[in-house]
C-alpha cells in the first residue's frame, strides 16, 4: 500500500456562533486548510471528500456532506458522510487514509462539522446520551456525564484515583487552551477552581466536563505519488488503528478502561513500527477528565492505575515525557462532536510543521491522535511522523 501524508489542515474557531451556519463554519475550516498547503491546492485537485458529523442541530439537518463540499466549490467530488458519534471525523480521517493507501484516490479531504448550541440543554443532553447505549442507559435516565461518572467512581475505587488528580487534567488543558486562539474556553484555571466547581455527576464537576460546541475542521490527505507537488514538509500517516466495542458500559468487562482505545492503539503502533515511548505529543479524547486518565493507560503512556499520578507529576505537560492535549483538548478547546477528530489532526499537523506558536512542542517529530465514539463503542488512533524531503524521519535527518 502507498504511504499517505497530511499536507494541509485548518479549523474554524470553536464556540457558540448563533450567526454562523454549518456551511459557513465548514468554509472557514476548508479555507484555512487550503491556505496551509505550501505549494497551493485547487478544488480540481480533490478526488474525494469525507465529512464527519452527528448532524442533530436544527441548523444542519439535511444532506450535510454534499451541502458543505458543494458550498466550498468541490463540485462533483464524491462526498461521504460518516457518523460515529464523537468519533465521526476521526473515522473520516481513517477513511481518507484508506482511500489514498488503496490507490482509489490521490487527494482526499477529511473533515468534520457540528452545530450544537442551537438546541436546548435538555435536547443536547439527549443527543449526547444516545451517542451511547440508548435503550438501557439513556432511556433509564443515565446521562452521558453519568456514564463517565461511573467510570470515574470505578477508577477511584480500584486504583485510588483522586478528585485532585482529575482536576489536574482540567488545569493542564486550560493552560494549553489559553494559548490557542481557536479555543472555546481559552482561559486558565487554578487547581482550587477545578476542585470546587459545581457537581455535574458525582464525582465529576463542571471543570471535569467538556463544553458543547460549534465548529469545523479539515485535513487534506494525499498519496506519496503527489505529496511533493504540495509541500516540502512531509507529515506521514505512520499508523492507523480502529476498533469497536459493546456500546453500553454495563455490557463490558471493565469500567476502568476503554478496550476499543487499547485495541486501536495496538494496531496503530504495529503499523507504524512505534511504541508509546516514541510519541512526543498526543491529542486524546478528554470529553471528561477521567477519559484522559484512562487514555494514558489505554495508549500505553503508563500502567493501569498510574494515570492520576502521571498527570499530577507534570509528565504530560510541557517538559514531560509526552505532552498531552496541546490544543487544550476537548475540555478547553471545545467538543463539536463531528469535528473533534479532524480538529485533533489539525493540531498534530501544526505541531509537526512547527506552526503551533506558543503551544509548540520543542523538537516534535511524532504525534498521536485518539478519538472515541460515545462512551467507548468506537475508537480510532492515528500516528503521524514528520519526514525530511527525502522521506527519512526527521530525527534521522538530524542525526545524519
Report the alpha-carbon distance of residue 395 to residue 239 in Å, rounded: 18
pLDDT(327) > 90? yes
Q: Give the residue among 202, 221, 200 at the shortest CA–CA distance from 212.
A: 200
**Tens digit of pLDDT for each residue in 33-89?**
999 999 999 999 999 999 999 887 666 677 899 999 999 999 999 999 999 999 999
Catalytic residue among 86, 218, 287, 302: 86
The CA angle 152-158-162, to the nearest 5 degrees, is 50
- What is residue 398's predicted lDDT score, i.e. its pLDDT? 40
Domains of the chain, CATH where assigned: 4-118+211-399 (3.40.47.10)
Q: How many CA atoms lie within 13 A of 34 on its CB side?
A: 15
pTM score, whole prediction:
0.96
Report the alpha-carbon distance of residue 360 to residue 200 in Å, rounded: 33
Q: What are phi and psi of 348, to 5 degrees?
A: -60, -45
Contact 315, 281 (CB under 8 A): no
Contact 328, 292 (CB under 8 A): no
- What is residue 121's predicted lDDT score, i.e. its pLDDT? 76
Catalytic residue among 159, 176, 335, 370: 335
Characterize 305-338 residue by residue with b for buried, 16 or more Cβ atoms within 10 angstroms of its Cβ, and e for exposed. ebbbbbbbeebbbeeebbbbbbbbbbbbbbbbbb
Report the alpha-carbon distance of residue 378 to residue 169 in Å, rounded: 23
Which of 20-29, 139-148, 311-320 has the weakest average pLDDT?
139-148
| Sequence-distant (≥ 6) Cβ neighbours of residue 294 within 8 angstroms | 151, 155, 256, 257, 258, 261, 307
167: which 3 cell numbers? 482536576
Characterize 109-143 residue by residue with b for buried, 16 or more Cβ atoms within 10 angstroms of its Cβ, and e for exposed. bbbbbbbbbbbeeeebbbbbbbbbbeeebbeeebb
**Tens digit of pLDDT for each residue in 215-227?**
999 999 999 999 9
232: which 3 cell numbers? 516540502
Residue 130 CA from chain centroid, whole number: 20
Q: Give the residue among 85, 143, 86, 291 at the shortest CA–CA distance from 208.
A: 291
pLDDT(18) > 70? yes
Catalytic site includes residue 86: yes
Catalytic site includes residue 335: yes
Which of 5-9, 139-143, 174-178 has the weakest average pLDDT?
139-143
Amino acid at each position: 500500500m502507498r504511504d499517505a501524508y497530511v499536507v494541509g489542515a485548518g479549523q474554524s474557531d470553536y464556540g457558540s456562533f448563533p450567526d454562523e451556519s454549518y456551511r459557513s463554519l465548514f468554509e472557514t475550516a476548508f479555507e484555512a486548510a487550503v491556505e496551509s498547503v505550501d505549494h497551493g491546492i485547487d478544488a480540481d485537485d480533490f478526488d474525494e471528500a469525507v465529512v464527519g458529523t452527528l448532524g442533530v442541530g436544527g441548523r444542519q439537518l439535511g444532506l450535510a456532506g454534499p451541502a458543505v463540499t458543494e458550498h466550498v466549490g468541490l463540485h462533483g467530488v464524491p462526498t461521504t458522510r460518516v457518523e460515529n458519534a464523537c468519533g465521526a471525523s476521526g473515522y473520516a480521517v481513517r477513511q481518507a487514509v484508506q482511500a489514498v493507501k488503496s490507490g482509489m484516490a490521490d487527494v482526499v479531504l477529511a473533515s468534520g462539522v457540528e452545530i450544537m448550541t442551537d438546541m436546548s440543554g435538555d435536547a443536547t443532553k439527549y443527543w449526547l446520551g444516545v451517542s451511547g447505549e440508548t435503550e438501557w442507559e439513556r432511556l433509564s435516565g443515565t446521562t452521558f456525564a453519568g456514564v463517565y461518572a461511573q467510570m470515574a467512581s470505578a477508577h477511584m475505587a480500584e486504583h485510588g484515583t483522586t478528585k485532585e488528580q482529575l482536576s489536574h487534567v482540567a488545569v493542564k488543558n486550560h493552560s494549553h487552551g489559553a494559548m490557542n486562539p481557536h479555543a472555546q474556553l481559552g482561559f486558565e484555571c487554578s487547581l482550587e477552581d477545578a476542585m470546587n466547581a459545581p457537581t455535574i455527576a458525582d464525582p465529576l464537576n463542571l471543570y471535569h466536563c467538556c463544553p458543547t460546541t460549534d465548529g469545523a475542521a479539515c485535513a487534506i490527505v494525499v498519496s506519496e505519488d503527489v505529496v511533493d507537488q504540495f509541500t516540502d514538509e512531509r507529515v506521514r500517516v505512520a499508523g492507523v488503528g480502529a476498533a469497536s466495542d459493546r456500546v453500553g458500559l454495563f455490557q463490558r468487562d471493565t469500567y476502568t478502561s476503554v478496550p476499543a482505545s487499547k485495541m486501536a492503539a495496538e494496531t496503530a503502533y504495529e503499523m507504524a513500527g512505534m511504541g508509546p515511548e516514541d510519541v512526543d505529543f498526543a491529542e486524546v479524547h478528554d470529553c471528561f477528565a477521567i477519559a484522559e486518565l484512562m487514555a494514558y493507560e489505554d495508549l500505553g503512556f503508563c500502567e493501569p492505575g498510574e494515570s492520576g499520578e502521571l498527570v499530577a507529576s507534570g509528565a504530560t505537560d510541557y517538559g514531560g515525557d509526552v505532552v498531552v492535549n496541546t490544543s487544550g483538548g476537548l475540555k478547553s478547546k471545545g467538543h463539536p462532536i463531528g469535528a473533534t477528530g479532524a480538529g485533533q489532526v489539525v493540531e498534530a499537523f501544526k505541531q509537526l510543521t512547527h506552526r503551533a506558536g506558543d503551544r509548540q512542542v520543542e523538537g516534535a517529530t511524532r504525534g498521536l491522535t485518539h478519538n472515541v465514539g460515545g462512551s467507548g463503542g468506537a475508537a480510532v488512533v492515528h500516528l503521524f511522523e514528520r519526514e525530511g524531503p527525502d522521506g527519512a524521519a526527521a530525527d534521522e535527518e538530524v542525526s545524519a
